[in-house]
Amino acid sequence: MVKTQSKPTAQSSPRVLVVDDERMVVDVFREIVAENIDCDLLFASSLREAQRILCGQRIDLLVADVHLPDGNGLSLVGELHRRQPGAVALVISGSPSVDSAVGAMRAGAVDFVAKPFVAEQLAEQIRKALESQRARHRREDRLRKLRDTVRRLNVARKTVNKKVDLLCNDLIGAYSELSRQLDLVRVQEGYRRFVEGVPDLEQLLCHTMDWLLRQVGYCNIGIWLTSADSELQLGAFMKYTVAAEPELTGAVETNLLRLIARRGFVRLRESECKTMLTPAELKFLTGQDIVGVNCTYLGESLGVLLLFRDQKTPFKDEDVNAVKMMSPLFASSLAVAVRRMEGEEAEDSSTPDEPKQKRKPDPADWWKNGDHPPF
């Protein structure tokens, strides 16, 4: 029979399922743990009872004894993660050993408790396990929001690509020699002013590519955005000599972009390309000088910038430094744009009958009208 803690708790209190057939352990949880930790306690004395609870109720923390009358309590850890991925588990054993502790951790438990234990220490371990569960829940919630954002970005990507194709046709002969001796402050302030006030993500991507071309000169530019599951998806591409064909984008997403995201920064010349790139990538990137930067915000990767052009006109050191310097500012601007997009969507849904306010003309929209670059 399943026993539940009778002490009233708030609806948001975490739910702890204790699976143990020893009366002493149950009493410890009722008298010590429940008095020190705000939680709902549920009890089961066998695998079967615990499985029935896991099937029908939300559980935040599982505390299971290894030795139960009808089986091994470690099996509940795997079942918990299959049914309720956001929950965590803590394992208790009356015959502790290194092998049993390692087995518990491999099964997915966050902690291992040996009998006999001190009640106060057990309460502290329960508290830490619940803190771990709350942190995991926050991470999953953040990932879920990023996943939704990426879906919206994919919808906008097709429109961005069409407009970028129009821009690419007029850019090749339009750029003059750019300044190559900007220091850190000038580069970052220049980029910040260039993207300041952009109304949406689309404009941010286009402004960023425009700024990069002004800074480093003619090149192919790709911007990939990081989804919640750490996959990179093309957000925008500006063609100089190589188009964003699916064969190319698929190849770099499989190898080169992952290398950039892992290392943070990559510079590949001809010799490095032959050893670091796959045959599918070399089909397009042979003889290219390549620069890639992972753009992070608060320790998380939000996107990857990829620039490449013929090695006969390689990137200069000041070009590479400029891309490195602007990448964290681009990441922070991207985070702001995503938050603004979410806020605008919430506002639109709350006032469906009000007409949307038209965006004021942007001087950077010269490319939309098919005009020549103003520089």
Write out the DSSP string of 13-27.
S-EEEEE---HHHHH
Alpha-carbon distance of 305 to 308, in angstroms, equals 10
Given a cut of 80, is residue 230 above it in pLDDT? no
pLDDT at 198: 83
Residue 166 or residue 327, greater confidence: 327
Q: Are strands 300-310 and 288-297 parallel, antiparallel or unpaired?
A: antiparallel
Residue 196 or residue 346, greater confidence: 196
Alpha-carbon distance of 91 to 107, in angstroms, equals 10
Helix H or strand E encompassing 61: strand 61-65
Given a cut of 60, is residue 350 above it in pLDDT? no
Helix H or strand E encompassing 90: strand 88-93
Strands laid side by side in the 88-93 sheet: 3-4, 40-44, 15-19, 61-65, 88-93, 111-114
Question: Percentage of the chain surpassing pLDDT 90?
Answer: 29
- Residue 373 in tokens: 């670059």
Given a cut of 50, is residue 36 above it in pLDDT? yes
pLDDT at 358: 54
- The segment with the largest mean pLDDT, out of 30-44, 140-154, 173-187, 254-268, is 254-268
Alpha-carbon distance of 352 to 350, in angstroms, equals 6
Alpha-carbon distance of 38 to 357, in angstroms, equals 48
Q: Among 66-70, 193-197, 367-371, which stretch is predicted with the lowest mean pLDDT?
A: 367-371
User: Residue holding tokens 């990179």?
Assistant: 232
CATH 2.60.120.260 for domain 172-369: no
Residue 287 Rama label (left phi>0; alpha psi -120 to 50; beta): left
Instruction: Report residue 165's pLDDT band, with 50, 70 and 90 as the boundaries.
Output: low
Alpha-carbon distance of 63 to 134, in angstroms, equals 16
In 3D space, the residue among 110, 99, 97 whose CA is nearest the CA of residue 64 turns out to be 110
pLDDT at 175: 43
pLDDT at 314: 95
Write out the DSSP string of 214-283.
HHH-S-EEEEEEE-TTS-EEEEEEE-SSS---HHHHHHHHHTHHHHHHHHSEEEE-HHHHHHHS-HHHHH
- Residue 275 in tokens: 């050893």
Q: For residue 89, what are the β-bridge partners?
A: 62
Q: Where are the domains of the chain?
A: 3-139, 172-369
pLDDT tens digits along 252-280:
999 999 999 999 999 999 889 999 999 99
Q: Among 142-146, 292-296, 371-375, which stretch is predicted with the lowest mean pLDDT?
A: 371-375
Average pLDDT over every residue of 12-38: 83
Write out the DSSP string of 123-183.
HHHHHHHHHHHHHHHHHHHHHHHHHHHHHHHHHHHHHHHHHHHHHHHHHTTT--PPP----
Compute φ and ψ for 34, nearest 5 degrees.
Answer: -65, -30
pLDDT at 183: 62
Q: For residue 301, what are the β-bridge partners?
A: 296
Average pLDDT over every residue of 30-52: 85
Work out the burial of residue 135: count CB atoms within 10 Å of its CB; fewer than 13 is exposed, 13-18 middle, 19 or more buried.
exposed
Given a cut of 90, is residue 167 above it in pLDDT? no
Q: Are strands 71-72 and 61-65 parallel, antiparallel or unpaired?
A: unpaired
What does the chain come to in residues?
A: 375
pLDDT at 176: 38
Q: Among 1-5, 234-238, 319-323, which stretch is predicted with the lowest mean pLDDT?
A: 1-5
Specify the CATH number of the domain 3-139: 3.40.50.2300
pLDDT tens digits along 45-85:
888 998 898 888 888 888 888 888 888 888 888 888 888 88
Q: Are strands 288-297 and 220-226 parallel, antiparallel or unpaired?
A: unpaired
pLDDT tens digits along 201-229:
888 998 999 999 999 998 999 999 988 77
Q: Among 104-118, 122-136, 165-179, 232-246, which stretch is predicted with the lowest mean pLDDT?
A: 165-179
Average pLDDT over every residue of 134-142: 80
Instruction: Report residue 182's pLDDT band, with 50, 70 and 90 as the boundaries.
Output: very low
Mean predicted lDDT score pLDDT of the chain: 80
Please, which contacts does 269-276 make with residues 24 or more away whose CB atoms are closer than 8 Å? 269/311, 269/314, 270/311
pLDDT at 367: 45
* Residues whose CB is less than 8 angstroms from the CB of residue 309 and which lie 6 or more positions away in sequence, other chains included: 218, 219, 220, 240, 241, 288, 289, 315
pLDDT at 3: 46
Given a cut of 60, is residue 2 above it in pLDDT? no
pLDDT at 148: 82
Work out the burial of residue 180: count CB atoms within 10 Å of its CB; fewer than 13 is exposed, 13-18 middle, 19 or more buried.
middle
Question: Percentage of the chain surpassing pLDDT 70?
Answer: 79
